[in-house]
Amino acid sequence: MGQVGWIKVNTNIFSNRKIKILLKEREGDTYFRIWIQILTIAGECNRDGGLYISDNTPFKIKDFTNIIGKSSKTFTKILQKFIDLGMLIYKNDTYFVKNWSKYQSADKLKKIGKTNKVIEENIIEKSFNNTTEEKIRKEENRKETRVDESNFETLD
C-alpha cells in the first residue's frame, strides 16, 4: 500500500484515560510525544498498525531509539508502559498499534487506493495514447518527406 499522509487524532485525546495516565508519568510529555511519533510511524508504514522499518523488517528497539532519540533503556520502559496500558501489542517480533482503525479509517484508505489506481491507469493510458499518436505522426511525416525519384529527370 502506498503512504497516507494523515492519521486521526481525536480532539478529546487529553480526556482519554490512558493519555492521562501517560501524562502523569515523571516524563509524561515525553511519553505522549513518543506515542504520537509511534502513531505517525504506523501511518507511514500503512500496514494495519504494524511498525516496520522496511517492507518485511519490523522495528527493533535500536531502530526506534535512532529515530526517536532516546536511550534503549528509556525507550524500552516507555514501550512496556504502552503495552501494559493496551495501546501497543507485541506479536511475532512486531509491534502493532492496538485498535489501529481508531487512528486510520480503512474505508477511506480503500477509497484513496481506488482513486490512486484510477489516476495511475489514466496516466498510463494517456502516456500510451500520446506515444501511439506520436508514432503515427512520425510515420506520416516520413511518408510525406519520402521523395519519389521516378518523377525526376536526369540531366546528362
pLDDT digits (tens, 9 = 90+) for 88-140: 999 999 999 999 998 887 665 556 556 656 677 777 777 767 777 777 877 77
Comparing 64 with 55, which gets the higher pLDDT?
Answer: 64
Distance of alpha carbon 27 from alpha carbon 78, whole angstroms? 10
Summary mean pLDDT of the chain: 84
pLDDT of residue 7: 86
pLDDT of residue 8: 87
pLDDT of residue 102: 87
Query: pTM of whole model > 0.85?
Result: no
What confidence tier does 5 reach under pLDDT thresholds 50, 70, 90?
Answer: confident
Note the maximum CA span of the chain.
106
DSSP conformation letters of 100-118? GGGTS-HHHHHHHHHHHHH
Q: Of how many residues is the chain composed?
A: 156
Q: Which of 42-56, 68-82, 102-116, 122-136 has the lowest mean pLDDT?
A: 102-116
* Burial classification of residue 65, based on how many CB atoms lie within 10 Å of its CB (0-12 exposed, 13-18 middle, 19 or more buried): middle
